[in-house]
Amino acid sequence: MERQIYLENKAWQEGLALMMEKLAERCVPKNEVVDVRSSLHRITGTIIRAHRSSPHFAASAMDGYAIRAKDTFGISEREPRWLELGVQAIQVDTGDPVPEGMDAVVMLEEVLELGERGILLQAPVVPWNHVRPVGEDIVEGEVLLPIHHRIRPQDQGALLAAGVLEVEVRRKPRVGILPTGDEIRPPEASLQVGDIVDSNSTVLASLVEEWGGYATIWPITPDQPERLEDAILKMAESQDILVIIAGSSQGRDDYTSHMIEKHGTLYLHGVAIKPGKPVALGEIHGKPTFGIPGYPVSTYLTAHLFLEPWVYQLQGLSKGVQTTLDAVVSKKVFSSLGSEEFVRVKVGKVGDRWVAAPLNRGAGVTMSLVRADGMLRVPRLQEGFHEGETVPVELLRPVSELEETLVCIGSHDLTLDVLSSHMKARGGQGGIASAHVGSLAGILSLRKREAHFAGIHLLDPDTGEYNLSYLQRFLPGREIALMNLVYRTQVLIVPKGNPLDLKTLEDLAQPGIRFVNRQGGSGTRVLFDYLLQKQGLSKEQILGYEREEFTHLAVAVAVASGSADVGLGIQSAAEALGLDYVLVGEERYDLAIPREYLEEPRIKTMIAVIQSKEFQEDVLALGGYDVRETGVFYG
Ligand SMILES: Nc1nc2c(c(=O)[nH]1)N[C@H]1C(S)=C(S)[C@@H](COP(=O)(O)OP(=O)(O)OC[C@H]3O[C@@H](n4cnc5c(N)ncnc54)[C@H](O)[C@@H]3O)O[C@H]1N2
Ligand code: MOO
């Protein structure tokens, strides 16, 4: 066999890019289904949604007594009241279902006396006190994990809590490793002069496993062309990636590059690195094939440079791991003295600084661990962090993923989840990290340069126009591009069958109708106030006007669990929970993007996705959306 007597000298990046260009389209990730209990570290191959809500029943959040809140109205320290045990008060422990007919829980510590007459209370209790409503943590149908997410222990917990027993994950790329050389011996052999122990195979196999692949080490094969050929072709039948150790340079027994040429294509032999120069890059039967130099350090380095990206490629990922970084805190963090507190945060890179946005959810909420990108540690003797302070963040996701993530702060809309998944599906890990704080707070975070864009739907009551006047008022002098994401239908969300027959806004002012509101500064709240004013109604006429939730889904959950009779929100939230709804009107939901970010590749990808037919079809499937101006810029 003729030997190759020259090596090329290209930059390694060029070699890798060449190989990706030739092969990436033919080498796409495959999926398989696995039990959630054995899914640790696997990469999700689709979006994964909740099969059921959690809690799936109204649950007591404390040890105490389940009661009816109305039995306690009028109680005071001067006029304590006995509630009869078994009738008006039923003992419950944390996590127990709240018995039928009861709507609140009093903690044991708040019971003044326990006696034959029952329990003695000295303060009234509000409805839903210490009760975790259905779906407080997870709502049926909501996205639990995006595509291309590496499953962690906390994710397994959330999946099982949400009734998901099996997940579709990326099949582990199968990597065949072929040690070659007449002098190579298995590790347990006793060595003669000239013998070398096969250490490289194990190093490579372990690296492959670390990167999420499944490695198989072939028997050591001597430097004989027929035997090498035989082994390589066998590997090509069952493996996704082929690695041939040694024989890569120009010695008398170096056959690797010829084998690749004979049975496939040799893209490149030799790159300008040291060590690792004689690496061979090619394909055999469409499988990425590497001739890896035999010196152990060369093996290790070339595996990192060339093999690692391919093991990731076959899982749909790009690479990298880092565990902490310094980030600017986007809002003040309060913490009590005396215990070390872990605050879960969303992390993103805006401009050239990292920003950490604290998530404001309680400790029973498993999804806050799933959604978090990292944790801030507030030391025992510190009362928290100031807004704008730079602090270390312990990362729960790879930094490469965070680098590609766009930070969206503002109003909540279900299409943001769909948008994020579509972006991830286009390759790479970067999606959207969205913090739901309402439209106005979103605009303010653009002012503080803490977000790449804000989702807003703010009606100007004076002009009937959306969004523009607010940007002029709150971001004077800043160049902001305003692009439509969707038009969406705002509805009165009511229980299935609309038992109270609520049809108009006036119906909400009837006595005893319990409304659930959105927080001040949210677009839905602005709309509600506007509609009330137009109908000549006052907020005092609305029972529950003061009860605020932060998302459309939380409003829908309040209605689904029976803790409210009606709320104002988007149609898709009602549909997600199988509730009924009454049309109120249509509103425009836009993305406000500072012009300085428009040229960022991530933003460009996002805009391309928004303007794509596939994305718009998925949005329409949610119900309650119109895409007639989706992707259109105003001005
Ligand atoms: N005349 C030239 N000689 C060499 C060149 C060159 O350009 N011109 N390149 C050198 C460079 S750089 C490297 S790197 C090596 C590459 O060697 P090969 O990939 O051809 O491999 P071998 O020559 O068979 O082995 C090199 C060395 O590594 C040991 N080895 C091999 N397999 C294993 C294994 N599985 N575990 C542990 N150690 C292994 C082998 O015994 C040799 O000691 O070529 C230079 N020569
Ligand atoms: O390229 Mo070699 O020894 O320098 O790996």
293 lines ligand 2 (CB under 6 A): yes
| Average pLDDT in the chain | 89
What's the pLDDT at 403?
A: 85
Which residue spans of the chain are classified as CATH 3.40.980.10? 12-30+172-313
Closest approach atom of ligand 1 to CA 179: 35
Using the atom order of ligand 1, give the atom closest to the CA of residue 247.
Answer: 20
Q: What is the pLDDT of residues 147-173, one digit of tens each?
A: 888 899 999 999 999 999 999 999 999
Which CA distances in Å does 589 have to 156, 161, 456, 525, 635? 34, 33, 6, 14, 16
* Sequence ranges of the chain with CATH classification 2.40.340.10: 324-403
Q: Average of pLDDT values for 239-259?
A: 90
Give the ipTM of the model, two decimals please: 0.93
The answer, yes or no, to whether residue 117 has pLDDT greater than 70, is yes
Query: How are the residues of the chain apportioned to helix, strand and coil, as percentages rounded to the nearest 5?
Result: 30, 30, 45
Nearest to 279 by CA among 490, 9, 566, 593: 9
Examine the pLDDT at 433 and tell me if it is beyond 90.
no
Ligand nearest to the CA of 271: 2
For the stretch 527-537, pLDDT in tens is 899 999 989 99
For atom 7 of ligand 1, which residue has the closest CA? 249
User: How many angstroms does the Cα of residue 106 sit away from the middle of ligand 2?
Assistant: 72
| pLDDT at res. 515 | 95
Identify the DSSP state of 171. Answer: P
Q: What's residue 360's pLDDT?
A: 57
Residues of each domain in the chain carrying CATH 3.40.190.290: 479-634
Q: Which of 330-339, 366-375, 389-398 has the highest mean pLDDT?
A: 389-398
Was domain 324-403 assigned CATH 2.40.340.10?
Answer: yes
Is the CATH code 3.40.190.290 the one for domain 479-634? yes
* Single-letter residue type at 200: N
* Spatial distance between the Cα atoms of 429 and 316, rounded to a whole number of angstroms: 8
Paired sense of beta strands 184-185 and 196-197, if any: parallel
| pLDDT tens digits along 489-528 | 999 999 999 999 999 999 999 989 999 999 887 888 988 9
> Does the pLDDT of residue 337 top 80, yes or no?
no
Q: Rg of the chain's alpha carbons, rounded to an integer? A: 30
Give the pLDDT band of residue 448 (cuts 50, 70, 90).
confident
421 conformational bin, left if phi > 0, alpha if psi -120 to 50, beta if neither: alpha
Helix H or strand E segment including 580: strand 580-594
Closest protein CA for atom 4 of ligand 2? 275
pLDDT of residue 90: 96
Report the run of H or E that residue 16 belongs to, with start and end: helix 12-23
Nearest atom (ligand 2) to Cα of 278: 1
d(CA 555, CA 518): 8
- Give the model confidence (pLDDT) of 348-365 as tens digits: 888 888 988 887 544 445
**Structure confidence by residue, pLDDT tens digits, 183-196:** 999 999 999 999 99
Nearest CA-CA partner of 349 in 480, 452, 479: 452
| Distance from the alpha carbon of residue 189 to the mean position of ligand 1, in angstroms | 21
pLDDT score of 3: 43
pLDDT of residue 321: 45
Residue 339 predicted with pLDDT over 70 = no
Nearest CA to ligand 1 atom 5: 249
CA distance 200 to 204: 6
24 class by beta-carbon count within 10 Å (0-12 exposed, 13-18 middle, 19+ buried): middle
- 42-to-12, 29, 38, 346, 373 alpha-carbon distances in Å: 29, 13, 9, 22, 18
Residues with CB under 6 A from ligand 1: 179, 181, 183-184, 196, 198-201, 245-251, 254, 275, 277-278, 293-296, 298
For residue 2, is pLDDT > 50? no
Name the most confidently modeled range: 370-374, 437-441, 584-588: 584-588
For the whole model, what pTM was predicted?
A: 0.68
With a CB cutoff of 8 Å and minimum separation 6, the contacts of 477 are: none
CA distance 150 to 69: 44
- In contact, 296 and 203? CB cutoff 8 Å: yes
More confident residue, 68 or 274: 68
Q: What per-residue confidence (pLDDT) applies to 359?
A: 74
- The pLDDT of residue 4 is 47
15 within ligand 2 shell (Cβ under 6 A) = no
pLDDT band at 233 (very low <50, low <70, confident <90, very high): very high
- Ligand 1, residue 196: give the atom nearest the CA: 41
Which ligand is located closest to the Cα atom of residue 276?
Answer: 2
Q: What is the mean pLDDT of residues 312-332?
A: 78
According to CATH, where is 3.90.105.10 located in the chain?
Answer: 31-54+137-170
Residues of the chain with CATH 2.170.190.11: 59-132
Give the integer Cα–Cα distance in Å for 254 and 246: 8
Cα 272 to ligand 2 centroid, rounded to whole Å: 10
The superfamily in CATH containing domain 12-30+172-313 is MoaB/Mog-like domain (3.40.980.10)
Q: CATH assignment of 59-132, given 2.170.190.11, 2.60.40.1080, 3.40.50.300, 3.40.50.10860? A: 2.170.190.11
Question: Which residue intervals of 282-398 are DSSP H helices?
Answer: 296-302, 308-313, 366-371
| C-beta of 270 in contact with ligand 2 (< 6 A) | no
Q: Determine which residue's CA is closest to atom 3 belonging to ligand 2.
A: 275
Residue 202 reports pLDDT greater than 90: yes
Task: Enter the CATH code of domain 31-54+137-170.
Answer: 3.90.105.10
Instruction: Give the pLDDT band (50/70/90) at residue 376.
Output: confident
CA of 198 to the centre of ligand 2 (A): 18
Tell me the HSE value of 328 on the side-chain side, using a 13 A CA sphere.
Answer: 15
Exposed, middle or buried: residue 190 (CB in 10 Å: 0-12, 13-18, 19+)? exposed
* Single-letter residue type at 484: N
